Structure 1
Amino acid sequence: MKLTALFASAAMVLGLATGAVAQDKTKIGFVYVGPVGDGGWTYEHDQARQAVVAEFGDKVETVFVESVPEGPDSERVMTQMALNGADLIFTTSFGYMDSTINVAKKFPNVKFEHATGYKTAPNVSVYSARFYEGRAVQGHIAGRMTKSNIVGYIGSYPIPEVIRGINSAYIHAKKVNPDVQFKIVWAYTWFDPAKEADAAKVLIEQGADVILQHTDSTAPQAAAKAAGNVITFGQASDMSEYAPSPRVSSIIDNWAPYYIARTQAVMDGTWESVNTWDGIGAGMVGIGEISDAVPAEIKAEALALKDSIAAGDYHPFTGPIRKQDGSAWLAEGEVADDGTLAGMNFYVEGIEGDIPN
């Protein structure tokens, strides 16, 4: 009798253990450079995290740490996530690149996904969006709508991603307005509302009546609204609380499909290191609703440009285009290759000023 009971007890324990293994959740960590309430970049990454939870329910467990500085602090956060049993970690800022590679070496069984970088490893993928496609649409609207012919641009850091955006916006503003000028202020931050507001005010004082930004807060929108007669574009998120003006459209980062697919790959055991760079056509870059503050004719032109890019009929970097110093870059009809775009470290002809080191 006791032996039977012992076998029954052992079977129960084995069953519970087997059930526990079967029900193990996939643990996913997210490292954010800004607060989830920034209204821009980090907000959209966290919306994608929530989409993963909605898709997989109790099959996943997600954790995130917000406002993590780029550098040693990020490495500590990633390490702690890995030690706590994360199966997959998304590191969502360019400056996390080396930290991601370093931590990945120590945890070869953990999968890492790094946003906007270029260094990969057997357990590190990189992913980014072709934001420059959205900048082309914004540049067209900016060039058509400016009355002062001065467009202000708030840059975060002088890295290829940001330089590509400036060049794309300028090229397309210049196509529709030969007199347009770009004035660029470098904020040296991804998210700092005070610095972003100050940058917007400086540009407005210099005559800009259109402000574009590659920073993450809504502070430039607020500064433009206070100034009046200045239009803006939402960055990373719709920022529609400032529509119909000053915010007349936006670039929207849609990470959810990618995050869901990569989580599924970890669950299926099919995850492998990849380099993903998608744009409007694939749905990773969205163009926010163009408001009624934009005349119907200009709106139609912008949407036609968007559709042409999405269909693959037009590439925003199509020659003839010269570099800032006047040297040849792209011949008539020639399209820039991804390698050059990924490492872009020059302005195109017509942009004034130097790129900071």
Structure 2
Amino acid sequence: MTNRRVFLKSASALALGSVLPFESVFAAAKLTAGVIYVGARGDYGYNQAQAQAAGVIKKLPNVKVVEEENVPETIAVQKSMEAMIEQDGATLIFATSFGYFDPHVLKMAAKYPNVRFAHCGGLWKQGNPSNITSYFGYIDECQYLNGVVAGHASKSKKLGFVAAKPIPQVLRNINSFTLGAQSVDPSITTHVIFTGDWSMPVKEAEAANSLVDQGCDVLTCHVDGPKVVIETAEKRGAMSCGYHASQAALAPKGYLTGAEWDWATPYTLLVDDVQSGKTPPNVLRGGLKEGFVKMSPYGAKVTPEAKKDADAAKAKMVAGDFMIFKGPIKDNKGADVIATGTSHPQTDIVLESMNYLVAGVVGQI
């Protein structure tokens, strides 16, 4: 009888044109979401961070998740997306890799206007299909904090950074890491080696060994799977800061902290919008404050002073009272890139086209 009364009350509310939102009367609509990874879901890095978020939305009411890993950034991803839509009935697709966007997501979004495509990487712009959401986070906030901790830990004052490609997102992380370290000691340098692609385990190992040979005693990276870099640093007796997900288990002695994604936040927001019939935004961003990114717990070698400095900077970031890119800043060729009195908040679109390395970075684009 109680259930019957609830039903009748709900039906009456609808009949009378009640202002109650539709989703408060009926359960969330059934939704199938497809998630596509460029690598293995258990890579201790980029793909694992995305897979952790997929695991969260699997537990949401009326949500089914279909996944496919090791899908290259070729026409293969178009076939995977189409199969999820046509065979599984997916109406929300998470295309998680940077290279999936053009032309693959663009083509599929035009072909399936009633499907929402969520792409990780920040590439959507006016004129692209309106059923695309570009989601990304201000993880350079965490890389700055990595730098603060690394700056305190380093004895050689030489840090190492293994990077995949010199695209704006990677350069922004290298620069933030360096500026964080230089807030501790302006003489600190960051030595960068680019491997050329997102997953190059042999080159990543070679780069990590080369950086240690050059005297770098703290390593970090921006590659899809940080496992090789972190393990190599540990074997060589160097310290490390992680990226994408926590790699603390791989380096029990040298792991200091890490910059982690918390993709469950944008994933959940997008699922909620699609289920409730709302139109998701084309651009979805957030940092520490919004819960898009987070820090790994501090390792045993992190000093109380380092924790104090990093925690203070983090608190200002969460409060919206801290800018990483505040002039004067020169690039590593001596040119002024941010003038005195000029600053760029995290939301400034200018930062998404960064094309320089700051002073103190040893390396070239």
Give the TM-score band, short-chain normalised: 0.7 to 0.9
What RMSD, in angstroms, separates the aligned Cα atoms of the two structures? 1.8
Instruction: Decide whether the 8 Å contact of 1:197 with 1:223 is kept in 2.
Output: yes
Question: Which residue is equivalent to 1:42?
Answer: 47
Q: 1:24 deviation in Å?
A: 7.5
> Equivalent of 1:95, from 75, 99, 118?
99
Are 1:256 and 2:264 an aligned pair? yes
SS at match of 1:76: helix
1:182-234, Cα deviation, whole Å (9 max, x unpaired)? 21111223234333222211211111111011122311111111111x11012
In 1, Cα distance between equivalents of 2:200 and 2:334: 35
Question: Which residue is equivalent to 2:176?
Answer: 168
Give TM-score, length-normalised by structure 2: 0.86
Unaligned runs of 5+ in 1: 1-21
Cα pair distance change 1:23/1:288, threshold 3 Å: closer
Letter in 1 for 2:354: M
Bigger Rg over Cα: 1
Question: Which residue is equivalent to 2:331?
Answer: 323
1:301-351, Cα deviation, whole Å (9 max, x unpaired)? 111111111111111111221233333232334212522211111112232
SS at match of 1:54: coil
Question: Which residue is equivalent to 1:65?
Answer: 68
How many residues are paired up?
331
Question: Which residue is equivalent to 1:15?
Answer: none
Question: Which residue is equivalent to 1:343?
Answer: 353
In 2, Cα distance between equivalents of 1:225 and 1:326: 34
Question: Which residue is equivalent to 1:227?
Answer: 236
Which residues in structure 2 correspond to 1:1-357 (within 5 Å)? 25-56=30-61, 59-84=62-87, 85-98=89-102, 99-119=104-124, 120-215=128-223, 216-228=225-237, 230-242=238-250, 244-336=252-344, 338-355=348-365
SS at match of 2:117: strand
In 1, Cα distance between equivalents of 2:299 and 2:312: 16
In 2, Cα distance between equivalents of 1:240 and 1:124: 35
Deviates more, 1:300-309 or 1:241-250: 241-250
Question: Which residue is equivalent to 1:11?
Answer: none
Q: Which has the higher helix share?
A: 1
In 2, Cα distance between equivalents of 1:325 and 1:192: 28
Letter in 2 for 1:118: L
In 2, Cα distance between equivalents of 1:23 and 1:326: 56
SS at match of 1:189: coil
Give TM-score, length-normalised by structure 1: 0.88
Question: Which residue is equivalent to 1:12?
Answer: none
In 2, Cα distance between equivalents of 1:24 and 1:346: 46
SS at match of 2:268: helix
In 1, Cα distance between equivalents of 2:277 and 2:29: 14
Instruction: Decide whether the 8 Å contact of 2:153 with 2:301 is kept in 1.
Output: no
Q: Percent sequence identity over matched residues?
A: 33
